[in-house]
């Protein structure tokens, strides 16, 4: 199984460094929450791991591969799944077509939808022929997660997956993320503002501020004092 590790990682938009000297390790099957106020570099960290910023320097390794030398499609083929803010499903494609898109990043070339996705999100089976753009925001988020899982990832990165989602679906999504980690052994990197969920779900956490890691620890160390100092607005 593969570790994901960053060491002294800098990431740039143009010539401006957004991440500055970030280091962390994600062991196989581990759940890491990335926390911080708005605009501190959390989304940029996920984009940097996927190769979606202008440039990076430092060291970023996954399973012995130097990710900084890999294209975004190559990183996906190695088993890194990414669900961005805004979900980015294709509105004119059906639910089936959206999910099948994920299979094109499978290393084994299989083009089939895993059955467990419909056990996890039954509404997607019910709406399998419906256009993605006709789903509610929460249903689109379920679809985005299913699409990423269809690529059979080893790591799943989620950027605020419950933001703007109707409350009745939030718990379903949170439960699915925990299930993927604890029952299927999927490594998770979660950017999240919901501290109680991060505390309950994750093994470890990082706090970013101004593009740097200012604190990290186990979920038990994510105390109210830490939240008050680093995460309240």
Domain boundaries, the chain: 4-230
Q: Cβ(89)–Cβ(145) under 8 Å? A: no
Distance CA 195, CA 11 (A): 26
Q: State mean pLDDT over 166-175.
A: 92
CATH class of 4-230: alpha beta
> What's the order of all strands across the beta sheet hosting 4-13?
16-26, 4-13, 55-62, 65-66
pLDDT, position 86: 83
Q: State mean pLDDT over 111-131.
A: 95
Q: State mean pLDDT over 113-117.
A: 94
Q: Cβ(113)–Cβ(96) under 8 Å? A: yes
Distance CA 117, CA 113 (A): 8
pLDDT, position 233: 66
Provide the 10 A C-beta neighbour count for residue 44. Answer: 22
Q: Cβ(52)–Cβ(75) under 8 Å? A: no
pLDDT band for position 10 (50/70/90)?
very high
pLDDT, position 13: 92
Q: Mind listing the pLDDT tens digit for each residue in 42-75? A: 999 999 999 999 999 999 999 889 999 999 999 9
Distance CA 220, CA 68 (A): 33
State in Å, rounded, how far the first CA of the chain is from the last one: 39
Distance CA 178, CA 173 (A): 9
Q: What is the pTM of this model?
A: 0.95
């Amino acid at each position: 199984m593969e570790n994901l590790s960053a060491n002294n990682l800098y990431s740039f938009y143009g010539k401006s460094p957004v991440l500055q000297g970030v280091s962390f390790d994600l062991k196989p099957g581990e759940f890491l929450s990335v926390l911080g106020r708005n605009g501190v570099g959390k989304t940029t960290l996920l984009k940097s791991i996927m190769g979606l910023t202008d440039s990076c320097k430092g060291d970023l390794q996954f399973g012995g591969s130097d990710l900084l030398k890999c294209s975004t499609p190559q990183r996906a083929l190695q088993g890194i799944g990414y669900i961005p803010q805004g979900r980015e499903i294709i509105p004119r494609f059906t639910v089936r077509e959206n999910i099948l898109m994920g299979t094109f990043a499978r290393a084994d070339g299989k083009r089939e939808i895993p059955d467990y996705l419909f056990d996890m999100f039954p509404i997607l089976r019910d709406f399998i022929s419906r256009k993605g753009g006709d789903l509610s925001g929460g249903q689109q988020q379920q679809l985005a997660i299913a699409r990423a899982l269809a690529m059979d990832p080893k790591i799943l990165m989620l950027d605020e997956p419950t933001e703007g989602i109707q409350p009745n679906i939030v718990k379903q999504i949170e439960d699915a993320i925990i299930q993927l980690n604890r029952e299927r052994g999927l490594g998770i990197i979660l950017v999240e503002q919901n501290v109680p969920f991060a505390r309950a779900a994750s093994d470890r956490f990082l706090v970013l501020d101004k593009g740097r890691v200012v604190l990290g620890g186990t979920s038990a160390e994510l105390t109210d004092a830490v939240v008050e100092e680093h995460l309240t607005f």
